[in-house]
Amino acid sequence: MTHRLIKGYRIMSSSPGLTVLNWLFGIFVHVPTFFYYRIKFRDFKKQTLTANPIFIQKLARDYDARARYFGQEINERKKQTFINKEYKKAVSDIHVPDVMTRYSLFFENQLSKRSFLFLTFIPGILLYLLFFIYHQGLVRFVVERLVATGFVIVSVIIIVFSLLYFSPQDPAQNILGEQATQLQRDNFNRTHGLDQSYIAQLTDRLHGFITFDLGSTFAGNEDVLQNIENRFPVTLAIAFSSLALAVMIAIPIGMISAIYVRSFWDYSFMFLALIGLSIPSFWQGLIFILTFAIELDWLPSTYTPGNIASLIMPVVVLGTGLSATIARMTRSEILEVMHEDYMMTAKAKGLSKQRMFTRHALPNAWIPILTVIGLQFGAMLGGASVTEKVFNIKGLGSYIVDKQFIPDIPAILAGVVYMAIMISVVNLVVDLLYALLNPRLRAELNDG
């Protein structure tokens, strides 16, 4: 137990940022311990530095003996300098225990004592938790990513809120109309808290997000949380179905293209992928509606809750751009891996092409692909608002678009933040998967 804490402490002392954190969290432990250390250090120095009369007498005798031997007369001044010099030398030669030389070592020494831990357990609980987190690379990585995600979400709230706060538009006028009196407007502003200061409103919003109280919309006075709850599942379903579809289609295509590189299929697939990347999703949606709903009458043109068939077109449209990117990335990553030295070794060993591919190329190539999927997921969710509008889906994306004209601050803020949360969570999962499944990173984290 104690050696883990010591390891955590050492890691935390190694970088300036972490040192600050270390002192901040451990202020109640570090400050008393530091004073204790200074006192002990001074005592120790005092002990050694107080003139030791026996030793000085011995030095004086030494000098006398030497002078006699060389036949010199005894010079009192020279004698004094000799004594001083020798004395200093001797003092510096005195063994100072390592523990006493630096505070960090002293603290480490204290950490290894159970009595110290017991004494400082209550004020130092946060600090010891921190040490425990940092003592192992993987735990540290996970916790740091979690904290970073939290930080990003808070920053998103601040950014979007600030944008809307400093907007020159007046929601009161937009909702109440031109003929509203000043009194009505003030009343509106008061009920929605718009008359408060920037800081007050911001803390209110942040507090609201933590307690799941998102306020009510300006227009219609609906509960925003209720709205989001109603609309979130559809967006979630479409987004993840598109992601699954894209992964299912694009990864095999990318693999085929990489295996048969520069073949007819490679060129055709990559050409198709490039077209998929170039089609605006709203146009693709319109063309799909035109062909599959209007002309062929196979699928419903707009979404109705509970009808799976009406989800097919939106999912395909939303997944197109993502599939194109993933297919291109898969191809280029596998090609890059194929040119690595270890592939040459595998070939020299006489492995079959199939085995080379499944055993060596794929496991190394899929890691960057995973990262790209995580990053592209965000771009896809942005596109969701357009696709939802085209297919008339009452999802989160279309909610934001509908509310932006007023601008309905609580609704837009909540919508954008929930989207950002979804993206951050997906990226978090990707990063954690990356850390857990990538042997190289795992080894690095555990060593560090």
Q: Which residues bind another protein (CB under 8 A)?
A: 17, 148, 151-153, 155-156, 158-160, 163-164, 166-169, 262, 264, 267-268, 274-275, 277-283, 286-287, 289-290, 294, 336, 378-379, 381-383, 385-386, 389, 397, 400-401, 403-405, 407, 412, 416, 419-420, 423-424
Name the minimum Å distance from CB 299 to another protein.
15
107 versus 141: smaller Cβ distance to another protein:
141
Name the minimum Å distance from CB 184 to another protein.
23
Structural contact between residues 172 and 180, judged by C-beta atoms closer than 8 angstroms: yes
167 versus 446: smaller Cβ distance to another protein:
167
8 versus 171: smaller Cβ distance to another protein:
171
The Cα–Cα gap between 127 and 280 comes to 52
83 versus 156: smaller Cβ distance to another protein:
156
Q: Which two tokens stand for residue 3?
A: 């050696």
Structural contact between residues 284 and 206, judged by C-beta atoms closer than 8 angstroms: no
The Cα–Cα gap between 68 and 58 comes to 15
Structural contact between residues 59 and 87, judged by C-beta atoms closer than 8 angstroms: yes
Number of Cβ within a 10 Å radius of residue 239: 26
Question: Measured at the alpha carbon of residue 431, what is the angle toward residues 428 and 437, in degrees to the nearest 5?
Answer: 135
The Cα–Cα gap between 179 and 83 comes to 99
**438 sits in which H/E element:** none
Name the minimum Å distance from CB 386 to another protein.
5
Q: Which two tokens stand for residue 404?
A: 């932006």
The Cα–Cα gap between 191 and 178 comes to 19
44 versus 271: smaller Cβ distance to another protein:
271
> What is the residue-wise DSSP string for 416-430?
HHHHHHHHHHHHHHH
Name the minimum Å distance from CB 206 to another protein.
14
111 versus 381: smaller Cβ distance to another protein:
381
Name the minimum Å distance from CB 375 to another protein.
9
315 versus 414: smaller Cβ distance to another protein:
414
The Cα–Cα gap between 422 and 400 comes to 15
**Across the chain, which distance is largest between two alpha carbons, in Å?**
125
Name the minimum Å distance from CB 56 to another protein.
52
Name the minimum Å distance from CB 325 to another protein.
11
223 versus 336: smaller Cβ distance to another protein:
336
| Phi, psi values for residue 212, rounded to 5° | 55, 40
Name the minimum Å distance from CB 390 to another protein.
8
Name the minimum Å distance from CB 350 to another protein.
25
37 contacts: CB under 8 Å, gap ≥ 6:
103, 106, 107
* CA atoms lying within 13 Å on the CB side of residue 123: 13
Q: Residue 192 carries which side chain, given as an amino acid letter?
A: H
Cβ-in-10-Å burial (0-12, 13-18, 19+) of 67 comes to middle
Structural contact between residues 446 and 136, judged by C-beta atoms closer than 8 angstroms: yes
65 versus 294: smaller Cβ distance to another protein:
294
121 versus 405: smaller Cβ distance to another protein:
405
Structural contact between residues 419 and 431, judged by C-beta atoms closer than 8 angstroms: no
Name the minimum Å distance from CB 170 to another protein.
11
